[in-house]
Structure 1
């Protein structure tokens, strides 16, 4: 049996796993800092579990 040493290892992590996306949570979940969050939250997968961050909506007048 021979092995090709030039073959790169396959990355099992999906490309979307590092992207935060907006998600609506009905059942409260723990955020990265331990607080309970529900409603609109940021969510991404770290390869093992889902990670949640509180979503804060800004008024367009306050942002300017």
Structure 2
């Protein structure tokens, strides 16, 4: 349940707020060698803010 300050009542949380999706992030600065800094993160919306988690990529050999 999420409190809605406009109505002053509790309302059920939307189903899409529980879904994590992979998001590519580009940081608006350059690394030491002059390239843009970017990476992938897991992201979901909790109904109010975006929540981010670190994405760790494994090779096929490491996953086995």
Same fold (TM over 0.5): yes
Counting strand residues as a fraction of each chain, which structure ranks higher?
Answer: 2
| Deviations 1:10-58, CA, capped at 9 Å, x for gaps | 52x3211111110011137xxxxxxxxx510000111110000110000
Tell me how many residue pairs correspond in the alignment.
46
- List runs of 5+ in structure 2 lacking aligned partners: 1-9, 29-37
With the length of structure 2 as denominator, give the TM-score of the two structures.
0.60
Gaps of 5+ in 1: 1-8, 29-37
Consecutive aligned runs of 4 or more in structure 1 exceeding 3 Å deviation: none
TM-score when scaled to structure 1?
A: 0.60
